[in-house]
Structure 1
Amino acid sequence: MPIITEARVVVTSPGRNFVTLKVVCDDGTTGVGDATLNGRELAVASYLADHIVPCLIGRDAHRIEDIWQYLYKGAYWRRGPVTMTAIAAVDMALWDIKGKVAGLPVYQLLGGASRDGCMVYGHANGATIADTVDAALRHRAEGYRAIRLQCGVPGLASTYGVARPGEAYEPADGTLPTESVWSTERYLRIVPELFAAAREALGPDIHLLHDVHHRLTPIEAARLGRDLEPYRPFWIEDPTPAENQDGFRLIRQHTTTPIAVGEVFNSIWDAKALIESQSIDYIRATVVHAGGITHLRRIAALADLYQVRTGCHGATDLSPVAMAAALHLGLAIPNFGIQELMPHLPVTQAVFPHAYRYADGSLHPGDAPGLGVDIDEALAATHPYVRAYLPVNRLEDGTLWSW
């Protein structure tokens, strides 16, 4: 049995900030886990280094479930994004070790492949509707069968999901939070126009998605869902803040547009009522913020009972370690739906060499033992941490709003 002798927390910023846990065993086997929490990275790094790593030394790395329960129940203060992200990092690293010891990719340990690959969706965005449609056409030419659409809102200086000209989109954009101005009325006018133009340009066979990003009330989200119905969206994501989960029942009463939610969820308890009431169609909890492979598999199993499929968050605030873990789980579970893909910058990919690969609109985790991803610690050390915050939104009258 591999005994944990060391665990290192690596903070690096190759294009953006990442936190990685590397677990080392007495037989030389190593495993990696992602511990990145966008805008609060150092909180997780401290939680790991100061509170979790000392508890790992001397433990049997094969006892994944027992260690998960120890870290979750043993802390007494359960759940929360910092705790669950730290637990996720340990969990990923232990699955990576188990796969390497077995000589198998992790998806084989989870029951084997349920499909040939994981369909992904790319991000098409632009300052105008025309710019976004052009970006969507480029994605289609690259083989994407599912594309998220985000465009600028006339009269607003900046909008979530829209990159600066010539740059890749990165939401964490300042050493202090930048402030954006938001208008629900302007937004609700432009999105149906965007979908009408995209459906006309792309035809009926491309899946079209959109991220509302928590900014609407339930009845406003219901109105948007109904307005988009003629264009057959694959989903609208995070249409309203999920703290008031009854709001999703209200949306469901008024529209047949599918609903996705959960990228900010960190446990099965966040998703339980939404899944059991069938108020959502896709659960977007992610492997790094929801307790790792062990816990996300539980969420997926619950969702499967109610015909809810997965659609895991996959923005660039997840390192290639988390993407690999999501792909292994997604390939194995029966109710996989889709995987978000924001390709990492070349500088990021150099720090995190990986085996997963893209082809024809899908990703496959590869067949390397374990997760098939690692961190080049020497190269990571050349990219020091840079403080970066996510923006905040205010209404035109100055009221703070969901970003």
Structure 2
Amino acid sequence: MKITAARLIVCSPDRNFVTLRIDTDEGIYGLGDATLNGRELAVAAYLEEHVLPCLIGRDPFQTEDIWQYLYRGAYWRRGPVTMTSIAAVDVALWDIKGKALNTPLYNLLGGRSREGVLVYTHANGRDIPEALDSVRKYMDEGYLAVRAQAGVPGVASSYGVPKAGKPYEPAERGLPSESLWSTEKYLNFAPSLFEKLRVELGSDVHLLHDVHHRLTPIEAARLGKSLEPFHLFWMEDPCPAELQESFELIRRHTTTPIATGEVFNSLWDAHDLMRHHLIDYIRMTIVHGGGITHAKKTADFAALYQVRTGYHGATDLSPITMAAALHLGLAVHNFGIQEHMHHSPLTDGVFTHQYTFDAGYMHPGNAPGLGVEIDEALAAKYPYQRAYLPVARKLDGTLTDW
């Protein structure tokens, strides 16, 4: 089998997605996600100009060799654009391999290690009562784990809380929006949210919370300690992780589990965090972390240090990446939990998929390969539209982490 063609499909069914299709001389094709939220066309150009011409004539079954060729052969390694490009190729090749062997992808990754993939979804509200209602709604739908965010009093725009009447979707058309942030108000408020949730909902539901890189290490330590009575499943991205040793300070002060890494793009971004036992869950997503080949190696390394997976799964990733994460999550031994945000009906119409949700768990389905297809005719009706993530400033105007 040889690769005969590779092309990109850029579309915007409610949000922008970049999809790679790789064709072979046996009529089998594979799909990969190449979406980098807010920088989509940078990845498209990297693929079009520098990667796709190198694929023609290669054996698509050689996933390891092609991965190394694209990673080592470029000399300039890592970075989100490069690793997202490699991931798109890698996932498409694994899709081809599964289809050619007529088996779902998880069987090529070790087979099933569990019956289903535990997932969590996003609950939020403008205030604590609204957030409580939102968590209850998802529990009624069968979710066993829910991430909870609420508006902070005195802060006009709080992370994770949608604008009135809109589903949560941070990427916005036009130039980046700006919001104001107060760390002090947030630190004083967050424990009261989870105190109320535990009083009203009891201890059985898994509760998660995303700090979204907004704190310094000592501030994150304070938050983690204050949340200990409410036994969160995890506290996500408590501070920016470029300085990996900053997590040592957080770890010394709290037993609240820590998850980080949705902005990582290689094992080396989390190497010290894992081997020094500074985190409990690795969040690096398949699409930004070099694909299935690299994600499997990262998960295997994490397993040596009792770190479990908790892959990013927001709607800035297409259903192709969600399917890939579910296949890998079903297979790896040290799976922890999978983030699950519902794509819009329009997105699901463009990307038809076999994965399903039932009683708190998801399954990738048993179709060969990934189990995802793209309706190119429908996709063509929704052309790319420039969109950006927001930025945040402190109350005095200082730019901070969004």
Question: Above 0.5 in TM-score?
Answer: yes
3-state SS, counterpart of residue 195 of structure 1 = helix
Fraction of identical pairs, as percent? 65
Q: How does 1:122-133 map to 2 (within 5 A)?
A: 122-133=121-132
Aligned residue in 2 for 1:170: 169
Aligned residue in 1 for 2:78: 79
Aligned residue in 1 for 2:21: 22
Contact 2:314 2:341 in 1 (8 A): yes
CA distance in 2, matches of 1:124, 1:191: 14
Q: Tell me whether 1:210 sits opposite 2:209 in the alignment.
A: yes
Which letter does structure 2 place at the counterpart of 1:73? Answer: R
Contact 1:275 1:306 in 2 (8 A): yes
Q: Which moved further from structure 2: 200-209 or 166-175?
A: 166-175
Aligned residue in 2 for 1:327: 326
Aligned residue in 2 for 1:294: 293
CA distance in 2, matches of 1:201, 1:71: 52
Q: How does 1:2-401 map to 2 (within 5 A)?
A: 2-401=1-400
Cα distance, 1:166 vs. partner? 2.2
CA distance in 2, matches of 1:110, 1:3: 22
How many residues align structurally?
A: 402
TM-score by length of 1: 0.99
Cα distance, 1:167 vs. partner? 1.5
Which letter does structure 2 place at the counterpart of 1:167? Answer: K
Cα distance, 1:368 vs. partner? 0.2
Aligned residue in 1 for 2:401: 402
TM-score by length of 2: 0.99
Please list the CA deviations of residues 99-120 of structure 1 after superposition, one character each: whole Å capped at 9, or x if unmatched.
Answer: 0000000000111000011100
Cα distance, 1:173 vs. partner? 1.9
Which letter does structure 1 place at the counterpart of 2:333? Answer: P
CA distance in 2, matches of 1:199, 1:319: 33
CA distance in 1, matches of 2:349, 2:31: 16
CA distance in 1, matches of 2:200, 2:12: 38
CA distance in 2, matches of 1:159, 1:11: 31
3-state SS, counterpart of residue 121 of structure 2 = strand
Cα distance, 1:165 vs. partner? 2.2
Cα distance, 1:174 vs. partner? 3.7
Q: Which runs of 5+ in 1 are unaligned?
A: none
Q: Aligned-pair RMSD on alpha carbons?
A: 0.6
Which letter does structure 1 place at the counterpart of 2:93? Answer: L
Please list the CA deviations of residues 285-311 of structure 1 after superposition, one character each: whole Å capped at 9, or x if unmatched.
Answer: 000000000000011001000000000
Please list the CA deviations of residues 348-383 of structure 1 after superposition, one character each: whole Å capped at 9, or x if unmatched.
Answer: 000000000000011100000000001111111000
Cα distance, 1:201 vs. partner? 1.6
Contact 2:173 2:385 in 1 (8 A): no
Contact 1:174 1:390 in 2 (8 A): no
CA distance in 2, matches of 1:400, 1:376: 41
Cα distance, 1:8 vs. partner? 1.0
Cα distance, 1:200 vs. partner? 1.3
Which letter does structure 1 place at the counterpart of 2:41? Answer: L
CA distance in 2, matches of 1:54, 1:401: 40
